[in-house]
Chain A
């Protein structure tokens, strides 16, 4: 066989192997998720564990979410005013800031910050538990680590994310109001009035919340899976932590497009 032919075949083989490996990871992660979602089982976690996890991944992410939300809102106020004032419609600033935050930036930026702050911590924590044989020790005590460690973390992410996203949007709207009303002189009544008139509870708030629920599940899933599947070495944990942030961020951005398209009825 000609040499170029062998090379082409080898390249196709490699592509096939790569594809199969990725599908295998996806399958394993899927089975892992299905096994981890339901509560109950040997040594299952309780309400106390869930509350502890909501505190550690939700409450402790509050500062970064609130500060980031305020700045994003302020920038939106500033940019929005500059654009809107060209058309003499600065009164619509409240509408613009609130819709942008509730529909897009709230869920997406919160999910990205969450992946960096809580996701990486989850991966490193679980990876280290694996490296120090804590997970094996748990198994040998007759305690299912999926139910004890993974389930409460997964649910905590699922519960915390929409609340954080809502807070992000809320603080962002205040940030926009602060810049628009106090610094740029937009009429206060117009800012809040127009916002109230144009924001729809179902179309804007609920749909934004649905997005952040999906992001919450996906980001936490990726984080706990990466930790659980990591190589139990320092290099393995560092790789898994990076993977969490990269894969979760890309997944959030990709899913955001899909969800937006579905919600707007374009697909």
Chain B
């Protein structure tokens, strides 16, 4: 893929926490206008990758270009401007402001970043809430919402400023089947209607494959597969297929590395 097509372009990303290397010279291109699902075993740093793209974490080295801007080298004010103009992030918990109503939560970014009159803000907020099907819930407080509703309100708040890219952190976790299919449909329809670039971090292979244009599989700090979902399932390496088909044992072992079981069990404990 040429770099013009890539909305996010990561080169030589090195990131560690303490002594543990999370990303080992990771290269990744996220195509513009598409939904890319980032998947991989727990602890591979999928959410960390989102936070690195959003500039909330700094890499040890490497470049992370978002729409041509190298995020780690931006000054604080430039970073906030880039986030305001370009990015929206949906957090796993929704991260609604608990002291504000649903309406005020969605209105928050508009009020902070624009000088629009209150009547126009009202129209905008109602349109965004309509898009997620919660116009009728505008007077509720976050504590009165179910998990699925809270996430949809958060989605309305995230699209309030019409970002170019949406980052979704585990959007399908802990939802009932109805909320789940609603969220899947919403992500797809928003991406198409607003011509967004979406990055989806998730474990839910079926849901992700149903809407993602591309799937990126991460393991041990590297990309082990990047392709359309169909191609990955068909033609991926053994490790990729193990993950995509959810097999308990394979190249990714079921057992955490340990000493031989017989020596371990019959060892004299002093």
- A42-B81, A132-B95 known; A141+B161 contact, CB < 8 A: yes
Mark contacts of B107-124 with chain A using CB atoms, 8 A cut-off: 1 yes-contact digit, 0 otherwise.
Answer: 011001100000000000
Q: Which residues of A contact B85 (CB under 8 A)?
A: 142
CB distance from B47 to the nearest CB of A (A): 11
Does B56 interact with chain A (Cβ within 8 Å)? yes
Does A75 interact with chain B (Cβ within 8 Å)? no
Q: Which of A84-130 contact B (CB under 8 A)?
A: none
Candidate in B89, B92, B93, B95 with the most chain A CB atoms within 10 angstroms:
B95
Mark contacts of B182-203 with chain A using CB atoms, 8 A cut-off: 1 yes-contact digit, 0 otherwise.
Answer: 0000000000000000000000
The answer to whether A43 and B112 touch across the interface, beta carbons within 8 angstroms, is yes
Q: Which residues of A contact B77 (CB under 8 A)?
A: 41-42
State in angstroms the CA–CA spacing of A41 and B75 once bound together.
13
Q: Which residues of A contact B88 (CB under 8 A)?
A: 140-141
Candidate in A41, A141, A143 with the most chain B CB atoms within 10 angstroms:
A141
The answer to whether A141 and B108 touch across the interface, beta carbons within 8 angstroms, is yes
The answer to whether A140 and B54 touch across the interface, beta carbons within 8 angstroms, is yes
Ordered by A's residue number, 9 sampled pairs between the chains whose C-beta atoms are within 8 Å are A43-B80, A132-B95, A137-B91, A139-B56, A140-B54, A140-B56, A142-B81, A142-B85, A144-B80
The answer to whether B84 and A142 touch across the interface, beta carbons within 8 angstroms, is yes
| B51 (CB) vs chain A CBs: closest residue | A136
The answer to whether B91 and A141 touch across the interface, beta carbons within 8 angstroms, is no
The answer to whether B93 and A143 touch across the interface, beta carbons within 8 angstroms, is no
CB distance from A45 to the nearest CB of B (A): 9
- A43-B113, A134-B97, A134-B98 known; A142+B91 contact, CB < 8 A: no
Q: Which residues of A contact B112 (CB under 8 A)?
A: 43, 141, 143, 148
Does B69 interact with chain A (Cβ within 8 Å)? no
The answer to whether A136 and B113 touch across the interface, beta carbons within 8 angstroms, is no
State in angstroms the CA–CA spacing of A58 and B98 once bound together.
21
Mark contacts of A17-55 with chain B using CB atoms, 8 A cut-off: 1 yes-contact digit, 0 otherwise.
Answer: 000000000000000000000000111000000000000
A contact patch SS: loop
| A146 (CB) vs chain B CBs: closest residue | B76
Q: Which of B81, B87, B92, B93 contacts A140 (CB 8 A)?
A: B87
| A141 (CB) vs chain B CBs: closest residue | B109
State in angstroms the CA–CA spacing of A132 and B97 once bound together.
9
State in angstroms the CA–CA spacing of A134 and B161 once bound together.
17
CB distance from A127 to the nearest CB of B (A): 13
Does A133 interact with chain B (Cβ within 8 Å)? yes
The answer to whether A140 and B113 touch across the interface, beta carbons within 8 angstroms, is no
Q: Which residues of A contact B91 (CB under 8 A)?
A: 133, 136-137
Q: Which residues of A contact B84 (CB under 8 A)?
A: 42, 141-142
The answer to whether A141 and B95 touch across the interface, beta carbons within 8 angstroms, is no
State in angstroms the CA–CA spacing of A142 and B113 once bound together.
9
The answer to whether B83 and A140 touch across the interface, beta carbons within 8 angstroms, is yes
- A139-B56, A140-B56, A143-B112 known; A42+B80 contact, CB < 8 A: yes
- A42-B80, A43-B112, A43-B113 known; A140+B98 contact, CB < 8 A: no
Q: Which residues of B contact A140 (CB under 8 A)?
A: 54, 56, 83, 87-89, 167
State in angstroms the CA–CA spacing of A142 and B88 once bound together.
9
| B108 (CB) vs chain A CBs: closest residue | A141
Q: Which residues of B contact A144 (CB under 8 A)?
A: 76, 80
CB distance from B53 to the nearest CB of A (A): 10
